[in-house]
Structure 1
Amino acid sequence: MHHWKPICLLEDIPPLGSRIVQRPSGGDIAIFRNAEDEVFALHDQCAHKNGPLSQGIVHGRKVTCPLHGWHFNLETGQALAPDVGSCATFAIKVEHGQVLLAV
């Protein structure tokens, strides 16, 4: 069972953009919003060269790393072929316009 932490309002994340959540233990989390107002949470580090995924381009349910163009599925964190690797995902949801992250 998850404990949900309020992060921000959905409107605080630009469509096709992201917001960073810093963790005391290190390893920032990138919160993404796509054009359909779906939200996703990934470790903010590309599996290839540790690029900041939060600065990548969101398209559909994917994000493209800004460093070398690797594509990651926002739902699963898996790199899309021909790329190989994955990023950690985190449970996230929106309730009444509020973005909540599982802790």
Structure 2
Amino acid sequence: MTTFVDIGALSDVPQQGARVVKTMQGCVAVFRTSDDRVFALEDRCPHKGGPLSEGIVHGDRVTCPLHNWVFDMNSGEAQGADEGMVRTYPIRVENGRILISAELMARKAA
């Protein structure tokens, strides 16, 4: 069973925007859609390392700001002709608070 930790209020992330959470596993982009769904993805495009948190959110997709690669935030898979994938992480909203997998806050294995 996944344990979750509170990382802030849903209102801390703008609709169709993102916020970066620094974790022991690296930077994670937390996205909020126009209908208040949240997604957590690795904040690094596999193409050229672009910060996905600075990308354009449209529906449940985000477009990398550097070279327009589009990622499905449900699966982390690149869409269309692009090949690649970013990690996704367990995340949810409860009582207006964003909760993310506590495993992200744990130290990396030695």
Q: TM-score range by the shorter chain?
A: over 0.9
Distance (whole Å) between structure 2 residues aligned to residue 69 and residue 44 of structure 1: 15
**Which runs of structure 2 are paired with 1:1-103 in the superposition (5 Å)?**
1-25=1-25, 27-103=26-102
CA distance in 1 between counterparts of 2:24 and 2:75 reads 24
Separation in 2 of the partners of 1:3 and 1:15?
A: 26
TM-score by length of 1: 0.96
- Could you list the runs of 5+ residues in structure 2 that have no partner in the other structure? 103-110
Large movers: runs of 4+ above 3 Å: none
Unaligned runs of 5+ in 1: none
Counterpart amino acid of 2:64?
Answer: C
With the length of structure 2 as denominator, give the TM-score of the two structures.
0.90
Task: Report the Cα distance in structure 1 between the residues aligned to 2:18 and 2:41, rounded to whole angstroms.
Answer: 10
CA RMSD in angstroms comes to 0.7
Deviation at 1:84, TM superposition (A): 0.5
Q: Residue 89 of structure 2: SS of its match in structure 1?
A: coil
Greater C-alpha radius of gyration: 2
Task: Kindly provide the CA deviation profile for residues 46-75 of structure 1, in whole angstroms up to 9, marking residues without a partner as x.
Answer: 011110000000000000000000000011
Q: Secondary structure at the match of 2:19?
A: strand
TM-superposed deviation, 1:30: 0.3
Deviations 1:21-64 (A, max 9, x none): 10134x20000001010000000000111100000000000000
